[in-house]
């Protein structure tokens, strides 16, 4: 037997349960591995997952459903007493059957995107006969309202596919896990389109999916772009154009421009170990070159120093302009040592106030990406 409960959770209850969950997490993190493993094993209800990311949800798609599964590991029966949501836009359905040891239960959470927009995170609390405070589940995503005018909203045309922008800002990507960017588009064709995966050849660090798999005529779809920084094998800013093929009655090549900045991942550092880590010092991160002549290049330098307990390794140094060249003799700096980072700015063809940047990627786990601002007034 199934029950549907659209209930509003009072604010104080949300705060209470959120604090409860936070305290449990902090407590568990402080345990040893053996004790933590034992405490997890002793939990009577084990969830397959407690958080679902729906990605981008289009308003016209209607209700979107997420499934949460759990198993009863206790040697006594468990049943759900109540399921509480924090928004009228979410409805939870659940079985009221009694679950004996090793039996699996299910919660279905339906989210209604109508008349909503932007990022969302909806909380669902599942209360059982053995836990009146309950377990907390989350349904998250980005709600995409239907535009009033699709022609102006999706003004950038690539063939008969309309996009909001001329490029896709993937943004910051940490190289420990891929990042997915959802890009909505409008199919202005008079027929359905689908992605021709067989003919589409992408770089190894980029994967592409169309949702739905077949986008009807005069309707919206989503391109799911997955960018893997580790697979890219580099750091810094990248401006890439990917090509893919779509099918209707024929095959058509499409192009999308991606803008991405890749950063290196470092695991958290214990406070007691901070002084033992590599630490990059920069003598000046705001260099004012004052007035420079537009007729000839001008040079300057900053001092890089190793201020930690381990050597600093400079992974990469880049500028945001071909007019700014960089010279660094040694990319490894021993503790206590220093190196000069020299740069030359060529102002020819420029006039007025000018700002350029140098970005340094290093193995400093607390500040792996540092930026130096170069200011000048070209006369």
Give tens-digit pLDDT for 337-349: 999 999 999 999 8
Query: Is residue 34's pLDDT more than 90?
Result: no
pLDDT digits (tens, 9 = 90+) for 119-144: 899 999 999 998 888 899 999 999 99
pLDDT digits (tens, 9 = 90+) for 212-243: 999 999 999 999 999 999 999 999 999 999 99
pLDDT of residue 12: 36
Residue 368 lies in a domain: yes
pLDDT of residue 115: 84
Query: Is residue 35's pLDDT more than 90?
Result: no
CATH of the domain at 114: 2.60.40.10
pLDDT digits (tens, 9 = 90+) for 273-291: 999 999 999 999 999 999 9
pLDDT of residue 14: 39
What percentage of the chain reaches a pLDDT higher than 70?
A: 89
pLDDT of residue 28: 41
pTM over 0.85: no
pLDDT digits (tens, 9 = 90+) for 5-28: 444 334 334 344 444 444 344 434
pLDDT of residue 6: 44
- Residue that is last in its domain, among 263, 285, 310: 263
pLDDT of residue 21: 46
Domain identity same for 232 and 212: yes
Angstrom distance (rounded) from CA 100 to CA 73: 8
Query: Mean pLDDT of all residues in the chain?
Result: 88
Domain identity same for 74 and 160: no
Residue 268 lies in a domain: no
Count the domains in the chain.
3
Domain identity same for 31 and 163: no
Domain that holds residue 137: 2-144
């Amino acid at each position: 037997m199934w029950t549907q409960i659209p209930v509003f959770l009072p604010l104080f209850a949300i705060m209470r349960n959120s604090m409860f969950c936070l305290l449990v997490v902090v407590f568990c993190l402080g345990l040893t591995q053996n004790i933590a493993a034992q405490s997890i094993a002793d939990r009577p209800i084990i969830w397959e997952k407690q958080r679902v990311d729906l990605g981008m949800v289009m308003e016209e798609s209607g209700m979107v459903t997420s499934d949460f599964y759990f198993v009863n590991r206790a040697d006594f029966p468990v049943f759900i007493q109540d399921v509480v949501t924090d928004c009228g836009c979410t409805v939870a359905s659940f079985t009221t059957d009694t679950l004996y040891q090793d039996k699996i239960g299910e919660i279905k959470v339906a989210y209604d995107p109508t008349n909503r927009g932007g990022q969302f995170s909806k909380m669902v609390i599942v209360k059982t006969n053995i836990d009146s405070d309950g377990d907390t589940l989350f349904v998250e995503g980005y709600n995409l309202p239907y535009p009033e005018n699709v022609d102006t909203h999706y003004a950038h045309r690539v063939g008969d596919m309309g996009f909001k922008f001329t490029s896709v800002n993937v943004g910051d990507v940490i190289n420990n896990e891929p990042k997915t960017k959802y890009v909505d588009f409008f199919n202005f064709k008079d027929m359905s389109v689908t992605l021709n995966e067989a003919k589409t050849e992408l770089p190894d660090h980029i994967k592409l999916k169309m949702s739905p798999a077949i986008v009807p005529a005069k309707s919206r779809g989503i391109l799911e772009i997955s960018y893997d920084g580790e697979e890219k094998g580099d750091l810094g800013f990248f401006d890439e154009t990917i090509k893919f093929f779509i099918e209707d009655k024929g095959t058509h090549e499409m192009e999308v421009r991606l803008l991405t900045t890749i950063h290196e991942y470092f695991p958290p550092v214990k406070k007691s170990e901070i002084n033992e880590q590599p630490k990059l010092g920069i003598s000046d991160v705001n260099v004012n070159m004052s007035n420079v002549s537009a007729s000839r290049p001008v040079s300057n330098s900053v001092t890089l120093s190793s201020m930690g307990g381990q050597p600093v390794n400079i992974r990469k140094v880049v500028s945001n302009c071909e007019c700014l060249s960089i010279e660094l003799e040694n990319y490894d700096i021993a503790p206590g040592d220093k190196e000069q980072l020299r740069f030359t700015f060529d102002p020819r063809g420029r006039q007025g106030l000018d700002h350029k940047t140098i970005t340094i990627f290093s193995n400093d786990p607390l500040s792996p990406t540092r930026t130096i601002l170069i200011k000048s007034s070209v006369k």
